[in-house]
C-alpha cells in the first residue's frame, strides 16, 4: 500500500510514478479529495470531543457548588454535542474505509531504475547465457508433452478425469523429477534461509497483505465455507509471518525458504499455452523471501537473483535475464528481474523465476515494522522474494533439453544424487 502521507505531501511524485505504469491517476485525485474531507471531518469531531470534556469538567464543578440547575442545562448541551460527535465519528470511520479500499487497489510506484515501457515487448534483455537456441538437435525439438507421454512420466488424461482441465499428474520418474528439483532448491538455500513449511490455506487479510487481494480475486481459489484462500505462492504466508510484529534492527535481514503447492485459476487463459505444463492450476514451487531495512534492499535483491539464477545455470539451460519494464512489473513490485529458459521442443522462452523488490508496499499492508538501532520509534520494513525454483516449466525444459537420440531423457548430474543412482529416464 502506498504511504498516505507521501500522497498528501508529494502528490506530483506519486502521480508521475503511477503514470509510468500507465495507470489512470484519477483514483489518486479521489484519494486526495477523500483524505482532505476526512481530515476536516476528524478535526471537527476532535473539536467536539474537546468541548464535551470541557463541559464535563464544568458540570462537575457546578455539582460541587450545588448549582444543579445550571449543571443540568450544561449536561443537556453535552448530550446534543455527544450525539453529533458520534455521527461524525461514524462518518470518519466510513471515509477511512473508503480511502483504504482505494489505496488497496493502487499499485506500487516503480523504482527509478525500472525501465519505462508499455508491456512485455519493452522488457530489457540484460544478457543471454548458455548454448545458442539454434544449437539444439532435432531429437531435442520434441515438445515435452509428447516426450512425457512416450515415457509414461506425465499423465494428463487421468489428472483431467480426477480434477478437470489444466491439472496434471506426474508418474514414476516424472514424480521423482519434481521431488528432486524441489529438494535441490531447498538444499541450495538452507545455508542462509530458514526453512518454513507454511499452511497452503490462508485468511483473507493474509492475501491482502501481499497485494493478491482485492485486485486479483479472479485468479485465486476461495473456499467460501471457511473463508480461506489457496495460496498462489508461498510468498503469501511468508510475507505475513511477522505481521503486526516489530523486528529488531540487528536481526535483519530475515530470510525464509519454503516448498509448497501453489494454486492459480489462470482466469482468461483459455486456449493459451494450455498443452503440457506451460500453464496449470496446481504446481510445486520453492520460494525464497526476505525482510530487510531500506538500506539492505539492493544487496538482498542481487543475492536472491543470484541464488535463483545459479541453479538454472548449473542445470545447463539456455536462459536470459530480463529487467521488466514499468508496464509489465507486478502490481506490488517496484523492480523485477525475470529468468526465462529456452525450451527447444516448445520453441519458447519460459519464465521460470521472478525476483522482485517490493519496497515498503507489502510491509505497509502487512504492518511489518522494525525498530532502528538508535531506538527512536519504528519504521516500515522492505520485502523481497523470488522463485528459487518453480517446477512445471523447469521440468518441461529439462525433459526437452536432456532428451537423447534414443528417446530417453538423461538425468542431469546435478540431480542424480536425488535419483538413487538412476542416470536415465526411459
Query: Residue 65 belongs to a domain with what CATH number?
Result: 1.10.287.40
99 and 127 both lie in a single domain: no
Given 287, 393, 400, 403, the catalytic residue: 393
Q: How far is CA 82 from CA 52, 77, 85, 419, in A?
A: 7, 9, 5, 74
Q: How far is CA 180 from CA 174, 271, 394, in A?
A: 10, 30, 12
72 and 164 both lie in a single domain: no
pLDDT of residue 255: 98
Given 179, 243, 279, 371, the catalytic residue: 279
Identify which of 265, 214, 5, 21 has the alpha carbon closest to the alpha carbon of residue 105.
214
149 and 98 both lie in a single domain: no
Domain count, the chain: 2
pLDDT of residue 77: 85
Q: Which of 105, 129, 160 is the last residue of a domain?
A: 105
Question: How far separated are the first and last CA of the chain, in Å rounded?
Answer: 50
pLDDT of residue 272: 66
207 and 124 both lie in a single domain: yes
Is residue 114 included in any domain, yes or no? no
266-290: pLDDT as tens digits? 876 665 667 899 999 999 999 999 9
pLDDT of residue 271: 58
Three-state helix/strand/coil letters over 61-122: HHHHCCCHHHHHHHHHHHHHHHHHHHHHHHHHHHHHHHHHHHHHHCCCCCCCCCCCCCCHHH
Is residue 358 included in any domain, yes or no? yes
132 and 238 both lie in a single domain: yes
Contact between 311 and 355 under an 8 Å Cβ cutoff? The reply is: no
Cβ contacts of 157 within 8 Å, gap of 6 or more: none
275 and 367 both lie in a single domain: yes
pTM: 0.94
- Residue 292 has, within 13 A of its CA and on its CB side, a CA count of 21
188 and 220 both lie in a single domain: yes
pLDDT of residue 270: 60
- Residue 274 has, within 13 A of its CA and on its CB side, a CA count of 14
Given 49, 179, 351, 371, the catalytic residue: 351
Contact between 200 and 260 under an 8 Å Cβ cutoff? The reply is: yes
Is residue 154 included in any domain, yes or no? yes
293 and 363 both lie in a single domain: yes
Contacts 24+ apart (CB under 8 A), 54-59: 55/81
Given 264, 320, 364, 403, the catalytic residue: 264
Query: What nine digits make up the cell of 87?
Result: 455521527
Sort strands 409-410 and 424-425 into parallel, antiparallel or unpaired.
Answer: antiparallel
Is residue 331 included in any domain, yes or no? yes
Q: Which of 78, 105, 132 is the last residue of a domain?
A: 105
136 and 26 both lie in a single domain: no
Q: Which residues of the chain have pLDDT under 50?
A: none
Residue 394: domain span: 120-425
Is residue 112 included in any domain, yes or no? no
The single-letter DSSP state of residue 319 is E
pLDDT of residue 59: 81
66 and 207 both lie in a single domain: no
Backbone angles phi, psi at 355, to 5 degrees: -115, 115
Largest CA distance in the chain: 106
47 and 184 both lie in a single domain: no
Q: Is 279 known to be catalytic?
A: yes
The single-letter DSSP state of residue 63 is H
Cβ–Cβ contacts within 10 Å for residue 24, how many? 9
Given 78, 240, 353, 354, the catalytic residue: 354
Asked if the peptide bond before residue 424 counts as cis, ω within 30 degrees of 0, the response is: no
370 and 253 both lie in a single domain: yes
Q: Is 354 known to be catalytic?
A: yes
Q: Which of 65, 81, 105 is the last residue of a domain?
A: 105
Q: Is 264 known to be catalytic?
A: yes
pLDDT of residue 72: 82
Amino acid at each position: 500500500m502506498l504511504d498516505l502521507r507521501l500522497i498528501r505531501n508529494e502528490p506530483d511524485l506519486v502521480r508521475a510514478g503511477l503514470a509510468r505504469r500507465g495507470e489512470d491517476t484519477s483514483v489518486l485525485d479521489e484519494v486526495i479529495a477523500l483524505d482532505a474531507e476526512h481530515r476536516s471531518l476528524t478535526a471537527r469531531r476532535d473539536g467536539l470531543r474537546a468541548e464535551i470534556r470541557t463541559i464535563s469538567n464544568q458540570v462537575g464543578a457546578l455539582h460541587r457548588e450545588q448549582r444543579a440547575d445550571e449543571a443540568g442545562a450544561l449536561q443537556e448541551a453535552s448530550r446534543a454535542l455527544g450525539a453529533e460527535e458520534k455521527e461524525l465519528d461514524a462518518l470518519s470511520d466510513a471515509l477511512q474505509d473508503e480511502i483504504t479500499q482505494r489505496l488497496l487497489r493502487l499499485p506500487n510506484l516503480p523504482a527509478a531504475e525500472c525501465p519505462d515501457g508499455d508491456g512485455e515487448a519493452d522488457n530489457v534483455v540484460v544478457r543471454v547465457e548458455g548454448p545458442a537456441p539454434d544449437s539444439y538437435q532435432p531429437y531435442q525439438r520434441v515438445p515435452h508433452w509428447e516426450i512425457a507421454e512416450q515415457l509414461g512420466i506425465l499423465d494428463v488424461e487421468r489428472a483431467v478425469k480426477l480434477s478437470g482441465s489444466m491439472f496434471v499428474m506426474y508418474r514414476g520418474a516424472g514424480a521423482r523429477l519434481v521431488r528432486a528439483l524441489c529438494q535441490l532448491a531447498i538444499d541450495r538455500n538452507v545455508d542462509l534461509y530458514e526453512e518454513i513449511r507454511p499452511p497452503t490455506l490462508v485468511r483473507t487479510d493474509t492475501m491482502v497483505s501481499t497485494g493478491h487481494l482485492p485486485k486479483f480475486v479472479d485468479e485465486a481459489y476461495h473456499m467460501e465455507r471457511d473463508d480461506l484462500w489457496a495460496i498462489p505462492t508461498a510468498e503469501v504466508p511468508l510475507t505475513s509471518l511477522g505481521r503486526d510484529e516489530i523486528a529488531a534492527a540487528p536481526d535483519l535481514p530475515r530470510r525464509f525458504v519454503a516448498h509448497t503447492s501453489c494454486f492459480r485459476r489462470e482466469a482468461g487463459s483459455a486456449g493459451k499455452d494450455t498443452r503440457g505444463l506451460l500453464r496449470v492450476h496446481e504446481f510445486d514451487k520453492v520460494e525464497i523471501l526476505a525482510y530487510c531495512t531500506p538500506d539492505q534492499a539492493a544487496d538482498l535483491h542481487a543475492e536472491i537473483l543470484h541464488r535463483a539464477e545459479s541453479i538454472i545455470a548449473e542445470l545447463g539451460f539456455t536462459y536470459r535475464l530480463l529487467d521488466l519494464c514499468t508496464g509489465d512489473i507486478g502490481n506490488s513490485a517496484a523492480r523485477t528481474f525475470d529468468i526465462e529458459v529456452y525450451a527447444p521442443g516448445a520453441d519458447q522462452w519460459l519464465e521460470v523465476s521472478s525476483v522482485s523488490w517490493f519496497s515498503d508496499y507489502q510491509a505497509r499492508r502487512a504492518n511489518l515494522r522494525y525498530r532502528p538501532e538508535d531506538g527512536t520509534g519504528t519504521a516500515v520494513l522492505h520485502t523481497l522474494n523470488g522463485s528459487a525454483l518453480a517446477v512445471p516449466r523447469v521440468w518441461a525444459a529439462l525433459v526437452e533439453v536432456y532428451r537423447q537420440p534414443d528417446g530417453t531423457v538423461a538425468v542431469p548430474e546435478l540431480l542424480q544424487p536425488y535419483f538413487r543412482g538412476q542416470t536415465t529416464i526411459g
